[in-house]
Amino acid sequence: MLVNKYILPINSGSYDYLVIGKNIAKELGLKAQDRVMLQNPKYPEKQTLCFAEINEGKLKKNSIGIPLRTYEKVKKGLNLKFKIQKEGNIKSIDFIKEKLDGKKLKEPQFQAICKDIVDGNLNDAELAFFVAGCYTNKLSFKEAAGLTKAIADNGFKLKFRENQIVADKHCIGGVPGNRTTMIVIPIIASLGIKIPKTSSRSISSPSGTADTMEVLAEVDLKQEKLENLVKEYNGFIAWGGGCNLAASDDELIRIRRKLGLDPQGLVLASVMAKKYAAGATHVLIDIPYGKFAKVQSLHKAEELKEKFEKIAKELNVKIKVIITKGNQTIGRGIGPRLEAIDVLKVLNNEKDAPKDLLEKSLKLAGDILEMIGKAKLNEGYSIAKKQIENKKAYMKFQELIQAQGEKKLLQKAKHQYEIKAWKDGKIKEFNIKLISKIAKIAGSPKSANSGIEVLVSLKEKIKKNQTIYIIHSNQPNLLNQKIKQYIKDSILIS
C-alpha cells in the first residue's frame, strides 16, 4: 500500500524498521517484527527491507514513522508517498537456525548472514541466536575461515594486484605502553613494503594504538583516503572503526558484549577479518603472556598460537605467531600523549628513547622482513635497525603524519604526581592491570595528556624515595587513599 512518511527524530541503530499504525498493520496482516519492504514507487531501485514496529498510540492516517538511517536508503527527490508490503523470512534465518541446531555452515551461508547484518536485515534477537549458535556449537577452523572471508567481503576492502605482498601485524593486547605498531609500520613501509594498518581505540585499556596515533595525526579516515595512502606511502595507521572495515563484525561484537561471550571462532574471525580486508598476505601476531596480562600462561599462549596458525592455513595467509613476555609495561609512557612521545623518540633514534620498546619493535619488524623474504633468516633485525639509524623510518612516519593530517602535540597535563619507592629493594613484580587502572583514573585515554611515566623496570634495584612513577593528570588532588593503595599494589618491591 502507499503511505505517507513521517520522519522519526532518531536513528534506527543497527537495523531498519518502520513504525506502523495498528490500522495499516491489520490491513497488511502484520505482526510486530514482521519484515516489510519499503519502496520509493517512483524509483523502484530505492528500496529496503525493514522490521515492522506496531504503534499502539496515534499516528497520522496512513502514515508510517521512518528513522533517519532507513529514510536515507529510499529517499530521492521530493517523494512523499512510499510503498510498503509484507515480506517473508530471509534465507539467513534458516542458516542461523541450522547453526543453533549444531550443523556446520559453509562460506556462502556466512556470506548471506554477513550481508544481511550489514544491510540491517537482521535484528538483535536474530543476531543473538547466531552468536549463541557459534558459542554452543563451536565454529570449526574451516567455518571460522568462511566467516572471516564473509566479514571481510561485506565491508570495505583494500584491493591489490595479484601476488602483491601485503604485511600486517597484530598484538592481542593487554600490556600498557606496548605501542610497537607505530614503529614497525614506518620501518616496513620505508623499505617499500605495503603495510596498511587499521587499529582500534581503547576499549578497557588506557590507550589503543588509534588513540595514541590520534595525538599526532588524524586517524578517522575515509576509504578513498586510505586507498591513496597505501598507494602513495605504502601504509597508514588509521582507526579501523571509521571506514566500514568489518562492519558486520562490529555488530557481532556489540551483541557478544551483552553477555560477555567470546566464542573462539568468532574471536578468531574478528581478528583475521580485519587483516583479510586489509589485503594481508603475511601476518605477524604477538601474544604477550603474564600473570596480569590477557593471556595468563605460556600454555594458554601456545594454545592460542596454534589456533591462529590453523585459521591462517584455512585462509591461505602466511602467519607467524610469536609469544612474548607481558610481565611489565613497555616503554616509558602510558596514555596517548606520553606513548606518542616514546614512539617519536624511538623513531628519531634519540638517546633517551625507551630501549625495550625499540628492541621489541625491531624484533617484530625483523620477523616480518624474514617472513616475506625481504631478509634472510636472522638478518631481519639488523635491516630494521638500519632503518631507525638512517632515520628513514622516522621520515616515513613524518610522511604518514603529514598525509593523514598532522595534529599539534598537546601540552603536558596540568598536574604531575611523583610516586616514590616506599623502601629499598628490587622490583619483583608489575601488576600491569593495576597500572592500567591508575592511568585510567588519571584520565586516559579520554584526557589524552594524562597517564603514567614508569621510570623503573623489572628486577631493577631501587632505593627508598627514588621516583618510580610520575602520574600525569588534569585532576587536582588525585592521590586519595584508594589510588594510593592501587599504587602500592601495582609494583612489588622485595
| Least distance in angstroms from the C-beta of 293 to a second copy | 24
Q: Rounded to an integer, what distance in angstroms lies between the CA atom of residue 27 and that of residue 21?
A: 10
Angle, in degrees to the nearest 10, between helices 223-233 and 392-404 = 160
| Pairing mode of beta strands 318-325, 282-289 | parallel
Of 253 and 323, which CB lies nearer to a second copy in the complex structure? 253
Of 132 and 479, which CB lies nearer to a second copy in the complex structure? 132
Cell, residue 392: 628513514
Of 192 and 260, which CB lies nearer to a second copy in the complex structure? 260
Whether the CA torsion 17, 19, 22, 24 is positive or negative: it is negative
Neighbours of 7 (CB within 10 A): 12
Q: Which of 187, 105, 99 is nearest to 148 (CA)?
A: 105
Q: In what order do the strands lie in the sheet with 451-454?
A: 333-334, 451-454, 467-473, 415-420
Judge whether 262 counts as a catalytic residue: yes
Cβ distance 289 to 301 under 8 Å? yes
Would you give the distance in Å from CA 353 to the centre of its chain?
A: 27
Q: Which residues pair with 318 in a beta bridge?
A: 282
| Least distance in angstroms from the C-beta of 17 to a second copy | 10
Q: Rounded to an integer, what distance in angstroms lies between the CA atom of residue 131 and that of residue 270?
A: 13
Cis peptide before 476 (omega within 30 of 0): no
Cell 580485519 sits on residue: 274
| Least distance in angstroms from the C-beta of 406 to a second copy | 25
Helix (H) or strand (E) holding 35: strand 35-39
Of 93 and 301, which CB lies nearer to a second copy in the complex structure? 93
For the chain, the distance separating the N- and C-terminal CA atoms, rounded to the nearest angstrom, is 78
Of 265 and 288, which CB lies nearer to a second copy in the complex structure? 265
Cell 572471508 sits on residue: 149
Cell 523470512 sits on residue: 89
| Helix, strand, coil percentages in the chain from 3-state DSSP, rounded to 5 | 45, 20, 35
Q: Which of 145, 156, 153, 157 is nearest to 107 (CA)?
A: 145
* CA-based radius of gyration for the chain: 26
Of 65 and 366, which CB lies nearer to a second copy in the complex structure? 65
Burial class of residue 28, CB neighbours in 10 A (0-12, 13-18, 19+): middle
| Least distance in angstroms from the C-beta of 202 to a second copy | 13
Cβ distance 1 to 23 under 8 Å? no
| Least distance in angstroms from the C-beta of 260 to a second copy | 7
Which parts of this chain interact with a second copy (CB under 8 A)? 8-11, 13, 19, 32-33, 53, 55-59, 65, 68, 93, 96-97, 100, 102, 123-129, 131-133, 135-137, 254-255, 258-261
| Least distance in angstroms from the C-beta of 413 to a second copy | 20
| Least distance in angstroms from the C-beta of 90 to a second copy | 11
Of 258 and 420, which CB lies nearer to a second copy in the complex structure? 258
Of 58 and 159, which CB lies nearer to a second copy in the complex structure? 58
Which one of the listed residues 119, 250, 262, 367 is annotated catalytic?
Answer: 262
| Least distance in angstroms from the C-beta of 93 to a second copy | 6
Catalytic residue positions, numbered: 262
